[in-house]
Copies of this chain bind each other. A is one copy, B any other.
Amino acid sequence: MKPVRVGICGLGTVGGGTFNVLTRNADEIARRAGRPIVIEQVALRSTNPECDLTGIKTTNDVFEVARNPDIDVLVEVLGGYDVPRELVLTAIANGKHVVTANKALIAVHGNEIFQAAHEQGVIVAFEAAVAGGIPVIKSLREGLGANRIEWVAGIINGTGNYILTHMRSEGRAFEDVLAEAQALGYAEADPTFDVEGIDAAHKLTILASIAYGVPLQFEKAYTEGISRVTFDDVEQADNLGYVIKHLGISKRTEHGLELRVHPTLIPKERLLANVHGVKNAIAIMGDAVGPTLYYGAGAGSEPTASAVVADLLDVARDIATDHHYRVPYLAFSGIGDDDGGMPILPMEDIVTAYYLRLLAVDRPGVLARVATILSEQGISIEALVQKEATEGELVPIILLTHRCREKHMNEAIRQIESMADIAGPVTRIRVESLDEQE
């Protein structure tokens, strides 16, 4: 059967991996696709020592690939927003299918891109944009297609998980482990995207769109990073039977969708709590299937390439048939701005449990006052730990609350912080049960 001709734009980590996997496993891939998938052209700025480009047409102009009439599918693995957006829209306008690993592009410009793809009758596939090599997009959209999805919660940033894992296992501070991760190449020189949760929010936005069939709404995601998590909190959490993970969480509620990225206490026995280092995992709750979980490498050259090539396989199978039919399906089922009556909830309307850490003057009545404030907001306490006081020192008080509305917790914290006997800001980390055994 006629081969599928691919143009790879970018020959960095992911582009190089895609090139090598397509080359090395060509026979296996052809067997599964029902036709060969061949690399027709590669656009690159500089050579990649990992890749043997002998006999391959190259260019340094990515737009040449987007306009090349001999190319069926453009693989966008550049990273960034502006050039990729223009490149992908040019490829679509030229009738090419697109496979991208670019989460930022999809989360921020996805609605525009899918609309253009829909009008042109081409596919835009993006399995590699979320959780690297884990086939979570396919699982969510196809494998769990029978389900009403109730929630999605995942470790979807490897850098953040690496840092939290090592803080916990080695009793180290955030800055210390971050510096190590940077030295090892697990974190960028400017780590903001990873440690402040922006990257995770991009991915969560994409997952939520597919889970609930709503438009991409990255701007409405709540994003809180891990840079303020201290080893003290990690240790207190451990004593209470919890692990702190940086999670992306999206839940369907009666009033709308929760969409939030933040450090989270989860019970130690959860599989998610046992996902270490740079690995990723996503738990998904469906009304029929119950809880499921998907684990693997969330980044890296060949793991991400694995997902890019899986998309190429889907495209290859589809363009053998009447691909117009599958476009909304393979691309994104929520084209347009209809949120199906499921708005993204403002953060103050989410409902969750909380871990609080306060520093108090060791004086009778302080605890009673804190408990009263919480109670007046309708918040009940699940556990309370007060450390023994050393003469004249401030005492740390650790609280676990039951679930309440964030708005009420905000008000309680405002009042607690205004107490004369409380020093400094209250540390607040959300707590989720995420039961996998249900």
Contacts and interface: CB of A to CB of B under 8 A. Distances in A.
A287 B25 contact: yes
B325 A317 contact: yes
Interface string A270-295: 01001111010100001111111111
Given A292-B294, A296-B291, A138 B139 contact: yes
B317 A25 contact: no
A437 B305 contact: no
A107 interface: no
A239 interface: no
A202 interface: no
A208 B32 CA distance: 15
A320 interface: yes
Interface string A203-242: 0000000000100000000000000000000000000000
A408 B230 CA distance: 53
Given A133-B288, A279-B437, A437-B277, A148 B317 contact: no
Interface stretch (A38-46, A80-88, A308-316, A411-419): A308-316
Interface residues of A, number: 70
A142 B33 CA distance: 9
A296 B303 contact: no
Interface stretch (A3-11, A171-179, A326-334, A352-360): A326-334
Nearest to A328: B34
Given A25-B287, A279-B437, A144 B135 contact: yes
A306 interface: yes
A146 interface: yes
Contacts of A297: 289-292
Nearest to A283: B295
B289 A271 contact: no
A21 B297 CA distance: 32
Contact of A143 (B34, B138, B293): B138
A281 to B, nearest CB: 8
B288 A142 contact: no
A293 B295 contact: yes
A352 B325 CA distance: 48
Given A138-B139, A329-B34, A306 B274 contact: no
A147 interface: yes
Interface in A112-155: 127, 132-135, 138-139, 141-148
A382 interface: no
B296 A292 contact: yes
B288 A306 contact: yes
Contacts of A348: none
Nearest to A135: B143
A436 interface: yes
A24 to B, nearest CB: 8
B306 A286 contact: yes
A322 interface: yes
A31 B210 CA distance: 12
A261 B437 CA distance: 25
Nearest to A269: B274
A23 to B, nearest CB: 11
Given A28-B148, A320-B322, 7 more contacts: A28-B147, A31-B333, A132-B289, A139-B294, A142-B314, A279-B437, A290-B300
Interface of A: 17, 21-22, 24-25, 28-29, 31-34, 127, 132-135, 138-139, 141-148, 213, 269, 271, 274-277, 279, 281, 286-297, 300, 302-303, 305-310, 312-314, 317, 320-322, 325-326, 328-329, 333, 436-437
8 contacts: A34-B328, A135-B292, A138-B143, A279-B436, A289-B302, A292-B294, A293-B293, A293-B296
